[in-house]
C-alpha cells in the first residue's frame, strides 16, 4: 500500500535508537524527508544518511530545542508535514522502573513531566504554524499503555503520559478543522534500550526477581504483564503504526489512541 508520504517532511524525536530509529527508517523508506532529533547520533542512524535525512543534536530538556527543530525542517526541506513526538520514558540519567509512590521526589516528578509532557507541548506549539502554512499535517504522540492502566510503580511517568493523552484529544478537536490530525500511539513493553541497556529495566527487574536479564526480557516480563503474544513488542511494529497515522491514508483518524502492546490491555 502506498502511504503517500513521498516528499513529505517529518520531524522524529528520540530518533537515534529504538522506536525512534525504526520510525525514522520507515518514513525514509516511504519517501519522506526526515529531521531526526536526538542528543547524539548512533551508528544505526548514521547508516541511514542521505539527502532525505538531517540529524539535529538537541536535548529536549532545553525549552528552546523544539523550536530549533522546526526551524531546521523549514530551512532544509521547506516546511513541515509530520511531527512524531517519540522521545520519552526515563529522562537522561534516570532508570526505570521505580517502585512505590514515595520513591520519586519533587525533582523526579519535574524531570519526568519536562521530558514526557512539556517537551511535547513545546514541539507542538512550534510545529503548528509551520503545518498550517502547508494546509495541515499529522502529529503522532508516543504515549504508553501505562497511561490507561497505571499501577504501583512509575507514578510520575504514567501521570505524564496520561496528561499527554488528554493534550492529544484537545489538540485534535481544536486543529482538526484546520487540517491537522493529532493521535497517540500507545506501546506496551517494547524491546528498546529502556529494557536492554545496562542498568535498564531488565537489570532492575532481574535484581528484584533474582533472575538473569535475558530471562526477564524473554519470559518473566511477558508473564508478569500477561502479554497475549508472550513477548515484548518489536520497535518496527510500533513504527509501522506511526507511519500509517502520519499518512494521508489515515485522513479520518484523529483524536485516536492506537495500541501496540502485545495484548497487555484487556479491557474494552
Please list the active-site residues.
Answer: 157, 161
Tell me the Cα Rg of the chain. Answer: 18
Give CA–CA dist 128/185, Å, rounded: 19
Q: How far apart are CA 110 and CA 62, in angstroms?
A: 13
Question: In which residue are the cell numbers 489515515 written?
Answer: 250
**Which helix (H) or strand (E) segment is 162 a member of?**
helix 155-175
User: What DSSP designation does 41 have?
Assistant: -
Cβ within 8 Å of residue 40, ≥6 positions away = 16, 57
Q: What 3-state class would DSSP assign to 65?
A: helix
Is residue 9 a contact partner of residue 15, using CB atoms and an 8 Å limit?
no
Among candidates 170, 169, 61, 64, which has minimal Cα distance to 116?
61
Which grid cell sits at 209?
Answer: 526477581
List all residues 6 or more positions away from 137 whose beta carbon is below 8 Å from its beta carbon.
Answer: 80, 81, 82, 83, 127, 131, 179, 180, 181
Contact indicator for 77, 33 with CB cutoff of 8 Å: yes
Residue tagged 525514522 (cell numbers): 24
Amino acid at each position: 500500500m502506498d502511504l503517500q508520504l513521498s516528499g513529505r517532511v517529518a520531524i522524529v524525536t528520540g530518533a537515534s535508537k529504538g522506536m525512534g530509529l525504526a520510525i525514522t527508517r520507515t518514513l525514509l523508506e516511504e519517501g519522506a524527508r526526515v529531521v531526526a532529533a536526538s542528543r547524539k547520533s548512533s551508528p544505526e542512524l548514521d547508516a541511514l544518511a542521505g539527502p532525505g535525512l538531517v540529524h539535529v543534536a538537541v536535548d529536549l530538556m532545553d525549552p528552546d530545542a523544539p523550536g530549533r527543530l522546526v526551524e531546521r525542517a523549514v530551512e532544509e526541506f521547506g516546511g513541515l508535514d509530520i511531527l512524531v513526538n517519540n522521545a520519552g520514558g526515563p529522562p537522561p540519567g534516570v532508570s526505570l522502573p521505580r517502585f512505590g509512590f514515595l520513591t520519586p521526589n519533587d525533582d523526579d516528578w519535574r524531570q519526568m513531566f519536562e521530558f514526557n509532557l512539556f517537551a511535547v507541548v513545546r514541539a507542538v506549539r512550534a510545529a503548528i504554524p509551520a503545518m498550517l502554512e502547508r494546509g495541515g499535517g499529522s502529529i503522532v504522540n508516543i504515549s504508553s499503555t501505562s497511561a490507561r492502566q497505571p499501577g504501583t510503580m512509575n507514578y510520575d511517568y504514567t501521570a505524564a503520559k496520561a496528561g499527554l493523552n488528554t493534550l492529544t484529544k484537545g489538540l485534535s478537536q481544536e486543529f482538526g478543522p484546520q487540517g491537522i490530525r493529532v493521535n497517540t500511539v500507545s506501546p506496551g513493553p517494547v524491546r528498546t534500550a529502556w529494557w536492554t541497556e545496562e542498568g535498564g529495566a531488565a537489570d532492575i527487574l532481574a535484581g528484584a526477581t533474582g533472575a538473569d536479564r535475558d530471562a526477564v526480557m524473554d519470559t518473566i516480563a511477558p508473564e508478569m504483564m500477561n502479554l497475549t503474544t508472550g513477548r515484548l513488542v518489536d520497535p518496527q511494529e510500533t513504527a509501522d503504526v506511526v507511519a500509517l497515522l502520519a499518512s494521508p491514508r489515515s485522513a479520518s483518524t484523529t483524536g485516536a489512541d492506537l495500541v501496540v502492546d502485545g495484548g497487555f490491555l484487556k479491557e474494552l
